[in-house]
Structure 1
């Protein structure tokens, strides 16, 4: 018999939530096979079985909080059943002991009728929980997500399976009727562990820093023209697509070298000036915003920066980011413009002293050499910790980024 325990992932991670079981009680498990996905406040981890055999007990349901070292499943010697037949077979057919089955199906209040088609339905823990409570077959739910993931809203919209209607309650006094809530008007969804962590840390930053935001705008004409002229040649010579993020990253690195306190952090009563340039790039995922880090951006060329960002974004979407991908950034860039944001005040990331916000490119009338012209303009926002950075440095930093982007040839020389 082998116990499946929650592994140690990092010193700062002490617990997680069961995101998804990919094996069921009675399934055959091979040594090293991925059987359950664990969601932590930083990354999702795939837990494997150290032994081959049959999964006989599942001791934690999807959505449950589990601690590092906690036993969450048991694998015993045996051949087991094929995964697909096990999914379609009635509970009695599983070869696990009766006691183990009782642990694996702890919600007798509603029939568990998930995945009767024999195929694994991709669904969030909240959606699975709601489906169990309402007696809904997840395989019959039509998801809105184009990738086929069933969310709690899809289950709620599908309706409930036929169950005994609750008996009518006695008429309530008028005073109580005024506070009666129509459950159909509100969908309650528990915050994921990662969303709880994001909320906690953003609140901590707001409460523990003297955060201010300064704005400027950049004329994107020259960057867009240079990119248009060189993107095909760039792709042919490097195999990478030339985007805007490499220009912004290079401009930020050059400005950080000129204004080192923007690349600093407070540790106790000391200011630590970072002599490295690890730039975090905010990436939006289904579970929330993550900020993987482009290491040593000052040593990378445009193609290497574009490749690093593309690789990190893909890992984020595929839930493959490791702790090393998220730790140690010295400055962050976030691009709300991809969602249509015209202007915002971004919140700093962790212990960093500043964050740069990019926004949508909009054609606006501007004055150029005494004439009014229509130019592609972007608002830039620099949120910074006023305890470290004075107004002179914050405005100077943002002005430097603007000037380099408006003169990209100078960017090549200064970065």
Structure 2
């Protein structure tokens, strides 16, 4: 017999929630077979069998919160049915001998003397009503007087089904006959018995959604968060993509999107303003000399932020491939903890959903996050005499005002804008 143990899942994860059992008691499993899915704050994990055998017992159910090292089930070499047979036999009460097999008479002095058969246990509830143990237990649980239960048995015995039937019939009678209102008290109609009721659905918040909610609230409560805005003329980037996207796709087998341009622009701005790439640790400021850029991705279970490592050392194609791979893993729920840990700065793109303007919330302990938005044609004054419709995008930088001054944040965002409006300059930011 061996335990199914919740494995260690990383330094920051101490517990999880059983989201789904993939086996049931009595199932035979092989070594390495997936037994259950465990939902944690960051990723979902599959727990596999360490040895072959039969699932003897499931100790924790779906929805239960479990901790690292806890046993959630048992696997044995025998069958579940055989294991339970001994327990059932030990708890089963011996049956009384029947009248057909019990001696009804004995020989006494050569004459047959009638001897009364031993009485059959009545299973009475004390009021003269004969009922099965399961019926008496159910009656006690539901507060039913067995004398009021009409049994279907010819001998007048009451069984569990009779108690269930009686309870349903009694509930129907009670519902059909309204009780008179108490004297002197006005009658107030119950919301459940109004002319119509409004439907609702109650859903339990997933562990990841609860963690996201907690961290977002903590970010707003602990950081001195402020947001500054600017806008980018996307004409040059759209022109580059239009001219280069086919050859880029043919050569690198990945599309040329906007995220590689924004990642490169952010890295260039972070190099000029290193405080935006820092974090606060107690009374210290930790300045990071590397550029691991988090890319916010919307997944089924909620927003996740996988990290593109050493973005300053990657080319456009490598950035696009990394982002595509991380987004695919996020949507298939196969991200690892290594994909999510760390990160020095985050980019989030609400524009893919149609957002024109927003104020992103910090991904703590980071002190800066850039928000991208929808590209919208707007009339722009080219000079004093000319107006043109240009593809414009609002960008927003939320930052921690505790260590980043307003002027520094504004200049950081202006740098991002200038780099994006001159895409060729991004080649120099590697």
* Length-normalised TM-score, structure 2: 0.75
Number of equivalenced pairs: 341
Deviations 1:238-266 (A, max 9, x none): 12211110000000000000111111111
- Whether 1:224 and 2:238 are equivalent positions in the alignment is yes
Partner residue, 1:35 = 35
Change (3 A) 1:175 1:250: farther
Contact between 1:283 and 1:290, CA under 8 Å: does it hold in 2? yes
Match of 2:84 among 97, 100, 108: 97
Deviates more, 1:325-334 or 1:16-25: 16-25
Structure showing greater Rg = 2
Give the whole-Å Cα distance in 1 for the aligned partners of 2:335 and 2:401: 32
Give the whole-Å Cα distance in 2 for the aligned partners of 1:197 and 1:99: 45
Contact between 2:267 and 2:429, CA under 8 Å: does it hold in 1? no
Give the whole-Å Cα distance in 2 for the aligned partners of 1:100 and 1:56: 13
- Whether 1:22 and 2:22 are equivalent positions in the alignment is yes
Structure 2 unaligned spans of 5+: 89-167
Give the whole-Å Cα distance in 2 for the aligned partners of 1:171 and 1:198: 51
Give the whole-Å Cα distance in 2 for the aligned partners of 1:180 and 1:330: 53
Give the whole-Å Cα distance in 2 for the aligned partners of 1:72 and 1:188: 27
Contact between 1:26 and 1:96, CA under 8 Å: does it hold in 2? no
Structure 1 residue 334, shift from structure 2 partner: 0.4
Deviations 1:130-182 (A, max 9, x none): xxxxxxxxxxxxxxxxxxxxxxxxxxxxxxxxxx6965375787675366598
Match of 1:234 among 243, 248, 261: 248
Match of 2:299 among 280, 285, 309: 285
Match of 1:177 among 184, 189, 194: 189
- Whether 1:7 and 2:22 are equivalent positions in the alignment is no
- Whether 1:396 and 2:408 are equivalent positions in the alignment is no
SS at match of 1:4: strand
Contact between 1:26 and 1:95, CA under 8 Å: does it hold in 2? no
Change (3 A) 1:369 1:74: same
SS at match of 1:177: coil
Partner residue, 1:198 = 212
Contact between 1:249 and 1:297, CA under 8 Å: does it hold in 2? yes
Deviates more, 1:234-243 or 1:388-397: 234-243
Structure 1 residue 369, shift from structure 2 partner: 2.8
Partner residue, 2:286 = 272
Contact between 1:353 and 1:384, CA under 8 Å: does it hold in 2? yes
Contact between 2:21 and 2:37, CA under 8 Å: does it hold in 1? yes
Change (3 A) 1:308 1:95: farther
Structure 1 residue 56, shift from structure 2 partner: 2.1
CA RMSD for the aligned pairs? Answer: 2.4
Change (3 A) 1:337 1:95: farther
SS at match of 1:11: coil
Deviates more, 1:9-18 or 1:191-200: 9-18
Change (3 A) 1:321 1:276: same
Give the whole-Å Cα distance in 2 for the aligned partners of 1:17 and 1:99: 33
Change (3 A) 1:305 1:79: farther
Give the whole-Å Cα distance in 1 for the aligned partners of 2:298 and 2:83: 41
